[in-house]
Amino acid sequence: MKLVPKKLVVLVAALAALLAAAGPLRAADWVLTGTGVRVKTIAFIDIDVYEISHFMKQAPASRSKQAVIDADVPKKFVWRMMRDVDREKIHDALTGAFAMNGYQDQAKIKAFLGAFKAELKEGSHVTIQYDPENKSTTALVGGGSASVAGVDFMKAVWSIWLGKIDQPKLGDQLIGRLK
């Protein structure tokens, strides 16, 4: 069947309306709860480090950062690097964030950081995902990965972006699409 331009326009408009009516952005039942940019401030200059998005398969009972941290459901963060960052800086930033949020299990932190084996290049991706069936948090970083068991560790990881953070608006952005 050959479509004439007018029919093509109608078809595209119908598809756009269908997508708009579908509601929140979904990918295989993952619901995007929000997106933001992690910024590092040096002196008076803000440097974009990575874009981060948060997804859940089930929304928490209440719309709060603490409710998302505590939710024992499938959830994940996805980063897209906006600049090159060396391994040591990533390790230092994550270690500092765990400490800022009061998490001190050094064995679990070290295991998690093991996924970050090399410099993260601009355009590369990091996925940090929690599996409630196995009670484990997995970091996928290029060719590296690490899984760490425990609900306590999952809550510590989610607290990095939704708990105490030097960029509080980022946490608000990461839950901004929750209803």
Categorize the per-residue pLDDT at 18 as very low, low, confident or very high, splitting at 50, 70 and 90. Answer: very low
Categorize the per-residue pLDDT at 1 as very low, low, confident or very high, splitting at 50, 70 and 90. Answer: very low
Alpha helix (H) ranges present in the chain?
A: 5-21, 65-70, 87-100, 106-113, 151-162, 168-174
pLDDT of residue 16: 37
Mean pLDDT of 73-88: 97
Q: Measured at the alpha carbon of residue 26, what is the angle toward residues 169 and 36, in degrees to the nearest 5? A: 15
More confident residue, 143 or 1: 143
Q: What is the radius of gyration, based on Cα positions, of the chain?
A: 19
Categorize the per-residue pLDDT at 13 as very low, low, confident or very high, splitting at 50, 70 and 90. Answer: very low
Q: What is the pTM of this model?
A: 0.83
Rounded CA separation 36/16 (Å)? 25
Rounded CA separation 126/106 (Å)? 21
**Residue indicated by tokens 């331009």:** 5
Check: CB of residue 170 under 8 Å from CB of residue 161: yes
Categorize the per-residue pLDDT at 3 as very low, low, confident or very high, splitting at 50, 70 and 90. Answer: very low
